Structure formats: structure tokens, C-alpha cells
Amino acid sequence: MSWWYVFRGIALREFLRFIRQKERFFAALVRPLVWLFIFAAGFRSVLGLSITPPYRTYVLYEVYVTPGLCGLILLFAGMQSSLSMVYDRETGAMRSLLVSPAPRWYLLGSKLLASVLVALLQVYAFLLIARLWGVKPAPWGWVTVAPALVMAGLMLGSLGLLISSAIKQLENFAGVMNFVIFPMFFASSALYPLWRLRESSPLLHDIAAFNPFTHAVELIRFALYAKLNFEALLITAGCTVVFFGLTMFMYNPARGLWRAARGGKS
């Protein structure tokens, strides 16, 4: 029960922070919706397909663009949650959290899971609004995509936590976010299928195949149609373990960044 109270407190803090920052919610929805309209139209042109009809779009929207934008929402949410970690560390709230009796892995895991649950609400809100563009996943896809979104969110959130552990000042995080988000997004299968990347640029195809974000998107893409991409699941889960393990090391007061900041003293 004490562990439940710890998680509830951390999760409640994340939800309250999200509710009070209304512009964060609208930005999370408007950005992918605009990209859905612009990039999907361009995507149809690249494949040499006619841009008709005006409203039933559209298998391409559903199969390629929409899962990639769901991943983009999770990626931005993970980075924004990590931004709050940097802020909490500057204000001293992070130190108070890490010295609590609960295990460090549980505290960081609770923070990570709470941020994923908040991102999950954003993704489902995006999918509901995307129906105006004709995006209609399989009926069971609304259910089967939830575990894939959670797994992808855990991986991307763990990556954000790992990055936040190496950022000492809040002002530096915005530049790092752009340096991480946009290369990961564009050098992936979020907008274009891997076979198209292989035809246009073998090098870009190899980079996208190595990109963890690609496998998170593929996991979501298959789950929207009640299917399982086992390879994407294994890679996403493996990257989550690696990123979270490195985060545990970096947020250990006796090692990592904390030790370096204190001149090597434990």
C-alpha cells in the first residue's frame, strides 16, 4: 500500500501539471494534426497516387502517417516529461524525491509510467480527431494499440530520462530536444515505408532500420490492426531496458552525473 501511495502521488502530480498547462495539451494535438494533413498529402504524391477523394483517405493515412504521428506524440511527451525532471532538479524537488525511502528504480519507474499514461490520453484524443481525415483503425485496434503505445512510450520516456540526467541547466534542454526529436522522427519509417527509403537512399534505410523510433512506430502500426510485430516488440523492449538501466546509473547519487557534480564524492 505504501508503494501505491508513492505511485499515486507521483502520477497525480503529473496529471495536475498536465491539466494546468492547457497550451501543452493543445500543442500536442495541433502539431500532429497539421502534419497529418500536410505530410499525408505529400506522401500520396510521392507514391504517385491521385489526391482524391477529398474525405475518405485513406488507407495511406491510416497505415503509414497516423502511426508515425502517434509515435511523435509519445516522443514529445517523453521529452517534455524529462524537461520537468531538469526543472525539478534545479528547484531541489528531485533531490527530495530520490532520498525518499522508496527504491530509486521504483521512483523513476513511477515517474516514467505516469508520463506515459498522460501521453496515452493525448494519443487517443489525436486518433479521435483524426477521424475527420477518414482515419478509422480496425474496431479492435483501439484496444490492441494500447499496450503498443505503453511499450513505445516507456522506451521513448526512458530515453528522455536518460537525456535529462546529462543536462545540467534547463536552458540547454530545448536545443537537445530538437537535436533528438527531429532526427529520430525523420530518419524513421514514421512518414515513409522502409521499402521506399531503400529505393531512394540505402544509407537512409539503414539509419532508419537502426533507429529505435522506427521499431516503436512499427509496433504501433501493426497493433492498430490487431496484429503483433514480434521483432519490433523485442527491439522496443530491449531498448527500454537499456535506456532505463543507464538512467538508473546516471541518477544514482554515488555514481554518474550526481557524483561528477559533487567532485567525485559519494
Taking only the tens place, the pLDDT of each residue in 162-195 is 888 777 766 666 677 778 888 898 888 887 778 7
pLDDT band for position 146 (cuts 50, 70, 90): very high
DSSP string covering 139-191, please?
Answer: TTHHHHHHHHHHHHHHHHHHHHHHHHHT--SGGGHHHHHHHHHHHHHHTTTSS
For position 148, what pLDDT does the model report? 95
Find how far residue 215's CA is from the centre of its chain.
Answer: 12
What confidence score (pLDDT) does residue 117 get? 92
CA 263, 240, 196, 122: dihedral to nearest 10 degrees? -100
pLDDT, average across residues 25-41: 69
What residues contact residue 141 under an 8 Å CB cut-off, 6+ apart?
Answer: 223, 224, 225, 226
Residue 58 has pLDDT above 70, yes or no: no
| Residue 74 burial (C-beta neighbours within 10 Å; 0-12, 13-18, 19+) | buried
Q: What is the pLDDT of residue 62?
A: 55
Per-domain boundaries in the chain = 2-261
Residue bearing cell 477518414: 134
- Model confidence at 259, pLDDT cuts 50, 70, 90, reads very low
Q: How confident is the model at residue 41 (pLDDT cuts 50, 70, 90)?
A: low
Name the grid cell of 263: 567532485
- Tens of pLDDT, residues 124-140: 988 888 777 667 777 88
Predicted structure pTM score: 0.82
Contact between 24 and 121 under an 8 Å Cβ cutoff? The reply is no
Length of the chain, in residues: 266
